[in-house]
A and B are shown apart, each in its own frame.
Chain A
């Protein structure tokens, strides 16, 4: 079982601040990385994916990947109360099945 680790939180930030979510993974051969958001009682939904070292920006979200350090992060700028959720980091299995291995998630609360 591939290891994907996240701080479980909870992480609390004031509205308008930057939320920083971190994730490390054990398999150096992993190639693709995903951030999912999960609201309580709902299913995970994809926020960002990143394959290459560096930053990838999509609106208020920025994913950062450092394969040498086996580290991936998600920054949420101008945090909104609607961003309050659990954020799941996932790493792709390199078999043909595209299995995703998830971290335990970080609970984010944005305080109005």
Chain B
């Protein structure tokens, strides 16, 4: 069974479109995250979310918004896609306890053309 799963695995879309990436975890974790990995392989946190608070990295454009219908899901919505949004996006989850590892999904490669 996949612990953290994302769909789709690949996403090719045109500039200006709105798209969503879905993420689900079956680990019973309380906190979920979205990370962006650019072409230089730098992995940078975008959001973290639990049932109490959403923490947004201030460098993330407001075209990006996380949506959590329930504790096991954290979807990423992106409006007005730009060429620079092309990257691999990873969903992750971890327990609420401090100092614990994050478990990553398989990633979604987004290409904006």
A: which residues have CB within 8 A of B?
A: 1, 31-32, 34, 38, 42-46, 49, 51, 86, 88, 92, 94-102, 104-105
**How far is the CB of B109 from the nearest CB of chain A, in Å?**
9
B43 surroundings in chain A (CB, below 8 A): 44, 88, 102, 105
A38 surroundings in chain B (CB, below 8 A): 41
B66 surroundings in chain A (CB, below 8 A): none
Q: Known A-B contacts: A98-B100, A99-B55, A105-B41. Give 12 more (CB < 8 A).
A: A1-B57, A34-B101, A38-B41, A44-B43, A44-B90, A44-B104, A96-B53, A96-B98, A97-B31, A98-B99, A98-B102, A99-B48
B45 within 8 A of A: yes
In the complex, are the beta carbons of B48 and A98 less than 8 A apart?
yes
Count, chain B residues at interface, CB 8 A: 29
Q: Name the residue on A nearest B49 (C-beta).
A: A97
B50 surroundings in chain A (CB, below 8 A): 96-97
A34 surroundings in chain B (CB, below 8 A): 101
Contact residues of B between 11 and 40, Cβ < 8 Å to A: 31, 33, 40
**How far is the CB of B53 from the nearest CB of chain A, in Å?**
7
Complex formed: what's the CA distance from A100 to B57 in Å? 12
A98 surroundings in chain B (CB, below 8 A): 31, 48, 94, 96-100, 102
Q: Name the residue on A nearest B101 (C-beta).
A: A46
Q: Name the residue on B nearest A107 (C-beta).
A: B41
In the complex, are the beta carbons of B31 and A1 less than 8 A apart?
no
A to B CB contacts below 8 Å, 28 in the list: A1-B57, A31-B98, A32-B98, A34-B101, A42-B107, A43-B105, A43-B106, A44-B43, A44-B104, A45-B104, A86-B41, A92-B99, A94-B98, A95-B55, A96-B50, A96-B52, A96-B53, A96-B98, A97-B31, A98-B48, A98-B98, A99-B48, A100-B45, A102-B44, A104-B41, A105-B41, A105-B42, A105-B43
Q: Name the residue on B nearest A48 (C-beta).
A: B101
